[in-house]
Amino acid sequence: MIQLTDIQAAATRLHSQLLRTPCVASRTLSDITGAQVFLKFENLQFTASFKERGACNKLAQLTTQERQRGVIAMSAGNHAQGVAYHAQRLGLRAVIVMPRFTPGVKVERTRGFGAEIVLHGDTLEEASAHARLLAAQQGMIFIHPYDDAEVVAGQGTVALEMLQDVPDLDTLVVAVGGGGLIAGMATAAKAIRPGIEIVGLQSARFPAMVNAIKGTHHPQGASSIAEGIAVGTPGIIAQAIIARLVDDLLLVDEGDIEQAIVMLLEVEKTLVEGAGAAGLAALLKYPERFKGKKVGLVLCGGNIDPLLLAAIIERGMVRAGRLARIRVSARDIPGTLAKITATVAAAGANINEVHHQRAFTTLAAQNVEVELVIQTRGPQHVADVLVQLQAVGMDATLVH
């Protein structure tokens, strides 16, 4: 088992090799969730993820002979960047095997750190098997993303820093994929502050660690917005530590994670990926579970595909009622469309899209159906727009 001394040694090794990220209170998120929320901004690391802690700790301990052989890793992105960046910094050859579905932004960023990229397989397990095969064929050192004692010890330095900055935290809320981060953090935190509560979060679509620890049989999905924690096989080292030290494991849904990404962007002006938002997603989904507690959240990564982010923001606006779809039925006579748009404008809403429909409708032939996507200030403003359209003789409804 990994000890506090291993994590303290890792902290010494990592000193000045990466950023000591801030851990600060969020007054607004505290008001929203009912907990006292402290955010650990690991998305500010050079590679935008905590993963470089474990990678750097592992690489720093390689022998001269091992360094000459080079390193190989399997990763959907963040571990890849951590290994590639620190291998480049130390002058080592690095090969990274990534699943074919890996977002392009992560592939290109990893290649930018000088690593050789191999895209193989549709799952992390297939990519991992191929990486091990290449490691055996080429005599390279395999750097596992979570099932490695030195990697886990490196990740545990996150908890050391959080408890140095906020010593009286009641609870640490940590995203769980393979389990390396929470295993390292739990080891450090429980040794320093035995009464602290450690809560892990998994995507409901990838509940492998929850199933392994709790004996449940939640089905596994094919994809998740939180691809950083979309892990089908729990880490052996991590699972043993989690079973002993982690107090609870919770599941969060895709919608919860999307909402948390948008909230962090709007409230904290900080960009996180799906895995990085999982902790806040849990506070939003289970407010009573954390109410009144002093909670530390790890914003563990910020590498998100820009197109995915754009879709999440738009869907978030729909959920908040700031983007709404309304259907207006009226007589098909000259000036009807102008009357509709003028009424919407007078109500203070902005029109994003207009779909003018004559053929595909059950209305009478002399009627027209117009579907609008409008920008509003929120649900009450949408209701006001509908009322004003109805006041000028239009049949207007909200399309859910």
User: What dihedral do alpha carbons 80, 83, 84, 87 form, nearest 10°?
Assistant: -170
Domain boundary among 316, 349, 383: 316
C-alpha to C-alpha distance for 221 and 257, rounded to whole angstroms = 16
Residue 311 has pLDDT above 80, yes or no: yes
Domain boundary among 85, 118, 146: 146
* 59 & 15 share domain: no
pLDDT digits (tens, 9 = 90+) for 125-179: 788 899 999 999 999 999 999 999 999 999 999 999 999 999 999 999 999 999 9
Compute the mean pLDDT over every residue in the chain, rounded to the nearest whole number: 93
pLDDT digits (tens, 9 = 90+) for 9-65: 999 999 999 999 999 999 999 999 999 999 999 999 999 999 999 999 999 999 999
* 173 & 38 share domain: yes
Task: Provide the b/e sequence for 105-139 (b: ≥16 CB within 10 Å).
Answer: bbbebbeebebebbebbebbeebbebbeebbeeee
Domain containing 392: what range?
Answer: 321-399
* 134 & 245 share domain: no
Handedness of CA 28, 29, 35, 38 (dihedral sign): negative
C-alpha to C-alpha distance for 108 and 75, rounded to whole angstroms = 13
Beta-strand runs (E) in the chain? 23-25, 36-40, 71-74, 94-98, 116-119, 141-143, 171-175, 197-203, 248-252, 294-298, 323-331, 350-357, 367-375, 395-399
C-alpha to C-alpha distance for 177 and 326, rounded to whole angstroms = 40
* 84 & 67 share domain: yes
Chain-centre distance for alpha carbon 218: 21
Residue 211's Cβ-count burial label (10 Å; 0-12, 13-18, 19+) is middle
* 159 & 211 share domain: yes
CATH of the domain at 378: 3.30.70.260
- Residue 289: in which H helix or E strand, if any? helix 287-290
Residue 103 has pLDDT above 80, yes or no: no
Paired residues of 326 in beta bridges: 372, 398
What's the DSSP call for residue 267? I
Residue in 171, 315, 176 with CA at minimum distance from that of residue 252: 176
**pTM for this prediction:** 0.89
